[in-house]
Homo-oligomer: A and B are copies of this chain.
Amino acid sequence: MTTVTVQESSSSSGQTKLPIVGDTSDNKPRWSNKPFDFTVPPDLEGKFPGYRTPESESPYLYARRQGIQYPNYTQWKMEPYVEKSGFQDKGTLSHPEKSSLLKAAKEVIHLTPYCGTEIVGLKLSELTDEQKNDLARLAAERGVVLFRDQDDLHIRAQIKFTSYFGEPHIHHQSGIIPDLPWVHPVYKDETSVNGLTSQVWHSDVPYELNSAGISTLRFDVLPQTDSGEFIGGDTLFANGYLIYEALDPQFRSWLETLKARSSGFGQAALAAKSGLETRRPPIITEHPIVRTNPVTGLKSLYIAENFTTEIVGLEKRLSRSVLDYLFDHVRRCLQFQCRIKWTPNAVAVWDNRSHFHTGIFDYFPKTRHGTRVIAQAERPYFDKDSKLFSEVKFKGYTTV
């Protein structure tokens, strides 16, 4: 197994030394092919003897009832970072028309012209592989696909379902569910230290070598009014292809030549406030600012205000200036967004590479708990022959 070469940041003057992930050798390890079987990482195993999250209850409520810390900042020793090669996105196996999925649906509702589709009348647990492949493509095209009333997609089924699209990701520095470390609990309470800092447009864990691909999110506890209506805690998604295309052509040409650094150090510092030492040391990774989606062949903007710290090779103030402009641009692109209002048993399936999302934290002091599972995908790359959104026509549905 090839370990990652780390080097010191040249631009971190006045700061502590930061490991920056450089290129890895060619003989990278490959993705595992074996079916997902819920085998817990060796060093975690045995830390919670007998603990088993039930299907019938929110993992959060169950854990609290068992009297254990939740989200659980247990530490164990994770393997070093390695890039795995050979990832093939399931969306590339589908037919452009996605008809096995779309024709089976009772209804296909596009939430806004450029982002978000709700599929009515299908159970994720019953999709064929062909339909899942179509779903991967649809997510890559529409950003997020919502399925309501998935009452049978309990936590293990969610993990298993997501694992079809890629090896589930284990977070090295967030709270976990003790026996299901592939789940990132989406939850803020009195132990949460980041408050509104995560109300910011982002893609998840962008400092990883292999990025987040198809991801699923489901809430099992939602804020409610006294009369029982669900209110608050919506999630916004945004189409990263169009956010990119909306930039000036001359600026895009320049951005396509640049890389940016995504840092895990900020998240590690937050974790430290919850008493967690990271399970492997945080890293800073260099990725292209403009990223190609392997399914659609489209360019999107790949940055995030809470992770992207600098543009490689640019003087600190210039880097800050360009990034600030880009973060602001993302916030202004209301015309490429959709807003999802959660209901019990609704599940969102989204492409976490080429699209942005952010939670909305308007529900305190009420609580909200969700389970997020990420299928890992390829290392971000830029193919100069990839296209702009307006240069393609997606088949199988019509919007604006």
Q: How many copies does the complex hold?
A: 4
A314–B324 Cα gap in the complex (Å)? 16
A:264-282 near B, CB below 8 Å: 265-267, 269-270
Residue of B nearest to A232 (CB): B113
Q: Are B226 and A398 in contact (CB under 8 A)?
A: yes
Q: Please tell me if the beta carbons of B362 and A314 are within 8 angstroms of each other in the complex.
A: no
- Contact call B334/A110, Cβ cutoff below 8 A: no
A114 interface hit (Cβ, 8 Å): yes
Give the interface size bracket for A toward B. Answer: 35 or more
**Which B residues lie within 8 Å of A226 (CB)?**
398
User: A194 to B13, Cβ gap below 8 A?
Assistant: yes
A358, B331: Cβ atoms closer than 8 Å: no
A258 cross-chain contacts in B, Cβ below 8 A: 250
Q: A157: CB under 8 A from chain B?
A: no
The reply to whether B400 and A231 form a contact with Cβ atoms under 8 Å apart is yes
In the complex, chain B residues whose CB is within 8 Å of the CB of A112: 231-232, 234, 360, 362
With both chains docked as a complex, state the minimum distance between the C-beta of A74 and any C-beta of chain B, in angstroms: 22
Within 8 A of B (CB), among A1-42: 13-16
**In the assembled complex, which residues on chain B have CB atoms less than 8 Å from the CB atom of A398?**
225-227
Known contacts being A14-B265, A14-B270, A318-B251, is A232 close to B400, with CB within 8 Å? yes
- B residues within 8 A CB of A254? 254
Contact A335 B313 (CB under 8 A): no
Interface positions, chain A 235-249, Cβ under 8 Å from B, are 236, 247-249
Tell whether A66 is near chain B: CB-to-CB under 8 Å: no
Task: State whether the Cβ of A336 lies closer than 8 Å to any Cβ in chain B.
Answer: yes
Please name the residue on chain B nearest to A13 by beta carbon.
B197
- Measured between beta carbons, the chain B residues less than 8 angstroms from A199 are 332, 334-335
The answer to whether B400 and A113 have CB atoms under 8 Å apart is no
The smallest beta-carbon distance between A179 and chain B, in angstroms, is 30
> Would you give 27 A-B contacts (Cβ < 8 Å), ordered by A?
A13-B197, A14-B267, A14-B270, A15-B269, A16-B269, A112-B362, A113-B231, A113-B363, A196-B335, A199-B334, A223-B400, A225-B398, A225-B400, A226-B398, A227-B398, A231-B399, A247-B315, A247-B318, A248-B313, A249-B313, A250-B314, A317-B325, A318-B325, A331-B331, A334-B362, A362-B400, A365-B400
